[in-house]
Amino acid sequence: MALSTYDRQFRDLVERIGDVPWMTPTQGRRIWDHFLGARPLMALDIGTCYGTSAAYMAGAMRAIGEGRVVTVDSAQFDDRSEAKQWCEVLWERCGVRDLIETIRIPHSSYVWWLMEQVAGRSDKRGNCEPVYDFVYLDGAKSLTVDTAAVIFVEQLLRPGGWLLVDDLDWRHEDHPALIPTVQYPDDVSYRFSSAEIAMPHLRAVFDMVVKRHPSFGNFVEQDGAWGWAQKVSGDRKVVIIEEASLSSRLRRAIRVLRRRASSPSR
């Protein structure tokens, strides 16, 4: 059977990506088919690593003729790292370098960056101007990090856009070297409980955060590993801000000052 132009373009992309991890050609094909149907103009790739997920997204956009990918990762992939250079080489080889913007985060997490994006695009009523049509979440595999990420991603997704969560079945117990210790100042640290180690964190994020969020619907799960959710509602917020009278604001300020004066000094 003769291959269509899109099939030939996809096969060529797979050959150019070769054996670079982590996205497989089967997963890449799903992204490709989704992009051909949904035609996202802006995609966000959370977790760049060696750049294959960004390459599949941008490859589909190249075939369609429009769209851009923003890909974000920690500063371990800054300009000095080998992985950053491998990404550049891969994207050049795939002919998609110009469609990809890389963000390297010099602080704890992509969650902070997502929060900054939401803050920068919000009006004073808390309405965020959405920007992405597709978001692929393939980062920390952490309940805390990725729950917060989903809350911000939802605000950045355009109505009708899709969130795709990777690794619903990823467990720390299968990757003991990656079990984190949470470190606080003064030598205080916490280890993961056995339940946290056994539980797939992204499964909890998908089932208990994404599926229960009022904005998401049309859920699709694939192979127990991928979870799709569409942003089906994006109601604008109405916020009524009532200003207290000058006298009650003064009374409140006096109460705060009194409380401060009577509290023991540190």
Looking up tokens 């049509």 gives 133
Query: Cβ distance 149 to 111 under 8 Å?
Result: yes
Part in contact with ligand SAM (CB under 6 A); list of ranges 45-53, 177-185, 218-226, 252-260? 45-53
**Which residues are bridge partners to 92 per DSSP?**
none
Interacting residue with ligand SAM among 17, 42, 43, 49 (CB under 6 A):
49
Is residue 74 involved in binding ligand SAM (CB under 6 A)?
Answer: yes
Query: Could you tell me if 124 and 93 are in contact, meaning their C-beta atoms sit under 8 angstroms apart?
Result: no
Provide, rounded to whole angstroms, the least separation between the CB of residue 238 and ligand SAM.
Answer: 34
Q: Which stretch binds ligand SAM (CB under 6 A): 31-39, 68-76, 221-229, 249-257?
A: 68-76
Q: Which is nearer to ligand SAM, 101 or 129 (CB)?
A: 101
Q: Between residue 167 and residue 196, which ones bind ligand SAM under the rule CB under 6 A? A: none
Closer by beta carbon to ligand SAM, 86 or else 215: 86
Q: Which is nearer to ligand SAM, 52 or 155 (CB)?
A: 52
CA dist., res. 85 & res. 83, Å (int): 5
Applying CB under 6 A, among 57, 94, 96, 140 the residue interacting with ligand SAM is: 140
**Residue among 115, 117, 136, 119 nearest 35 (CA):** 136
Show the beta-strand stretches assigned E in the chain: 42-46, 68-74, 100-105, 132-137, 157-165, 181-184, 188-191, 216-222, 226-231
Nearer to ligand SAM by C-beta: 151 or 234?
A: 151
Please give, one letter per residue, the 3-state secondary structure of 60-86.
HHHHHCCCEEEEEEEHHHCCCCHHHHH
User: Considering only 138-146, 156-164, 205-213, 249-257, which stretch makes contact with ligand SAM by CB under 6 A?
Assistant: 138-146
Q: How far apart are CA 158 and CA 63, in angstroms?
A: 22
- Closest CB 185 distance from ligand SAM, rounded Å: 20
Binding residues vs ligand SAM (CB under 6 A): 22-23, 47-50, 52-53, 73-74, 76, 105, 109-110, 138-140, 145
